């Protein structure tokens, strides 16, 4: 029986999404990957909580997180990519290893700024959404492009895998969508205090910047 993985490109209803679309001059700003047709096993790198767009990492996404809990619908494109059983297992393992890693993976806000300024570079255990999706496919043995994962935008993904288009329309109209809330959704919408989020944001930025500085220091030593 043939297996598939699903890549989802979306236009999220957030201020950050609007900024990204403006600078990249694209209709879509976010990329996710799912291990099933219902999109119940969908993962990406983005904000960890609805109340704080500045702190991000890997999350299990859903119809609730993509719409940020608002009534506005979200335009999406779903691509269905055929894979072998071995490729599917490699892709699953790569995702779950990152999701469960004790050394936390962070959202690479420096790379996000790099896409806008066209000064892109990879960083230790950090990803942006499009980089994560393409690296996941690459780790599964899918050679879809010669571009390095960190140089790819959501618009690039649509061009690279355009032949695998499966659905185009509103998220809530997707015929297989699962609308049952999970514990991951509850964590995403859990509200915390302003002081906590302020400290959390500073700590997050410092950790990401520290990883970048440590890599550069290591390169100089080489």
Cα–Cα–Cα angle for 20, 54, 199, nearest 5°? 165
C-alpha span between 137 and 61 (Å, rounded):
18
Average pLDDT for 12-19: 85
Average pLDDT, the chain: 88
Q: Which residue has the higher pLDDT, 39 or 68?
A: 39
Please give the order of strands across the beta sheet that includes 30-34.
52-61, 42-49, 30-34, 3-10, 75-83, 165-170
Residue 214 has what pLDDT? 58
pLDDT confidence of 220, banded at 50, 70, 90?
Answer: very low
Q: Identify the structural domains of the chain with CATH numbers, from first to last.
A: 3-221 (3.90.1720)
């Amino acid at each position: 029986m043939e297996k598939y993985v699903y890549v989802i490109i979306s236009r999220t209803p957030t201020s950050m999404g609007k900024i990204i679309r403006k600078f990249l001059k694209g209709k879509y700003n976010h990329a996710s990957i799912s291990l099933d047709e219902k999109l119940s096993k969908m993962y990406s790198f983005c904000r960890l909580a609805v109340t704080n767009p500045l702190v991000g990492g890997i999350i299990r996404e859903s119809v609730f997180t993509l719409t940020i809990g608002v009534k506005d619908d979200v335009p999406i494109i779903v691509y269905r990519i055929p894979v072998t059983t071995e490729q599917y297992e490699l892709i699953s393992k790569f995702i779950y290893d990152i999701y469960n890693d004790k050394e936390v993976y962070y959202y690479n806000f420096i790379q996000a700024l790099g896409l806008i300024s066209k000064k892109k570079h990879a960083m230790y255990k950090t990803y942006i959404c499009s980089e994560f999706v393409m690296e996941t496919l690459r780790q599964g043995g899918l050679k879809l492009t010669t571009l390095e994962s960190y140089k790819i935008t959501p618009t690039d993904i649509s061009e690279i895998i355009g032949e695998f288009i499966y659905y185009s329309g509103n998220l809530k109209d997707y015929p297989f969508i699962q609308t049952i809330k999970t514990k991951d959704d509850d964590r995403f919408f859990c509200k915390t205090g302003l002081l906590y989020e302020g400290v959390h944001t500073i700590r997050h930025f410092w950790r990401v910047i520290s990883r970048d500085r440590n890599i550069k220091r290591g390169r100089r030593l080489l």
